[in-house]
Amino acid sequence: MFKILVLYYSTYGHVETMAQAVAGGAAGVPGATVVVKRVPELMSEEVARNVGAKLDQQAPIATVSELKEYDAIIFGTPTRFGNMAAQMRNFLDQAGGLWAQNALVGKVGSAFVSTGTGAGNETTLSSFHTTLFHCGMTVVGVPYTVAALRNLDGARGGSPLGAGTLAGPDGRRQPSPAELEIAAAQGAHVAQVTRELALGRQALGDALS
C-alpha cells in the first residue's frame, strides 16, 4: 500500500546496522513495503581498504531518480564534523531535478545518524532536515512515547530528531540495544505516519470523486 526507502551511507558499518533496525521497525506496520539501499561510495576501493571501510555491504546502490517512487525516505549517515557525510551530500546534490519537478513534495522524510563521540549528533540531523524541508518533505523524528529516549542508563545516541549510535572514538563500539530500539521505533513511527497520510489521501480522493 505504501513504499518506504531506507537510504544510507556507512563507512564502517554502524549506520548499516542501524538501517536494518530502522527497516525492521518500518516493516512491522501493515501495508508497508520496505527497501534498504545505499548511496554510492566516493572513495576509491584502495582508499576505502586503507581506512578499514566495511566493503561487504549487501544493500544495493540507489539511483537518484528512484527517490520519487517512494512514499517515505529514511536517510542514514555518519557524521562528518557535525554534518552528513560527503557521499550522502553528493547523492542529494544530484536531486536538483527532482526538486525542480516538486517530485518529493509531501513525501515523508526522516534521518538517523552515527557519531564517534556524540559530537554532531543533533547538528547532523537538523542540517539534514533542512535539505528535506527544501524538497517539500514532511519531516518526522522520534516521539518521546519511545521509552528508550527517556532512559539515561549508560551513554547512547538518539534524540527526538532521529535515532543515533555512538561508534566510539576508535569506532569499536557497536549499536546498543537501546539505540537499535530507538532506530526500530523511528522506522515504525515513520511508517505509521506514512500509512495515515496514504489512508487520508485515499479517503479524501474518494470523498471528492
Return residues touching ligand FMN (CB under 6 A): 10-15, 78-82, 114-120, 167, 171
Nearest approach, Cβ of residue 77 and ligand FMN (Å): 8
Nearest approach, Cβ of residue 112 and ligand FMN (Å): 11
Q: Which amino acid is at 30?
A: P
Q: Name, in order, each residue with C-beta under 8 angstroms of 43's C-beta and a sequence gap of 6 or more.
A: 51, 53
Nearest approach, Cβ of residue 171 and ligand FMN (Å): 5
| Beta carbon nearer to ligand FMN, 81 or 144 | 81
Number of residues assigned to the chain: 209
Q: Strand ranges (DSSP E) for the chain?
A: 2-8, 32-38, 72-80, 83-84, 108-115, 138-139, 164-166
Torsion of CA 108, 137, 69, 175, to 10 degrees: -50
* Residue of 107, 44, 118, 25 whose CA lies nearest to 72: 107
Nearest approach, Cβ of residue 148 and ligand FMN (Å): 19
* Bridge partner list, 67: none
| Beta carbon nearer to ligand FMN, 32 or 167 | 167
Which cell numbers in the block locate residue 148? 528508550
Nearest approach, Cβ of residue 102 and ligand FMN (Å): 31
Nearest approach, Cβ of residue 114 and ligand FMN (Å): 3
Q: Given the DSSP bridges, would you call strands 72-80 and 83-84 parallel, antiparallel or unpaired?
A: antiparallel
* Residue of 101, 102, 128 whose CA lies nearest to 115: 128
| Alpha-carbon span 66 to 123, nearest angstrom | 27
Q: Return the DSSP state at 7.
A: E
